[in-house]
Amino acid sequence: MSLNNAPKHIQLAVDLIQLLEENQIDTATAVAALEVVLTDCKQKQSFENNTSNAS
């Protein structure tokens, strides 16, 4: 499967992996940063879900 035909979340994951590798970010730092990003995204998603359900 071509990356162009891959789902958006797979394309983004590949881009993030490439960014981390190209900048030689060590694994522990990458994991810690991704945990922060994941927490932030989940909070935003929860807010969006609660906002759309209130309408």
Is the Cα torsion angle 30, 17, 15, 34 positive or negative in sign? negative
pTM of the model as a whole: 0.78
**pLDDT value, residue 2:** 85
The whole-angstrom separation of Cα 43 and Cα 55 is 19
User: pLDDT, tens digit, for every residue of 1-55?
Assistant: 689 999 999 999 999 999 999 999 999 999 999 999 999 999 999 999 998 887 6
Q: Residue 23 has what pLDDT?
A: 98
How far apart, in whole angstroms, are the C-alpha atoms of residue 52 and residue 34?
Answer: 26
The whole-number pLDDT of residue 55 equals 60
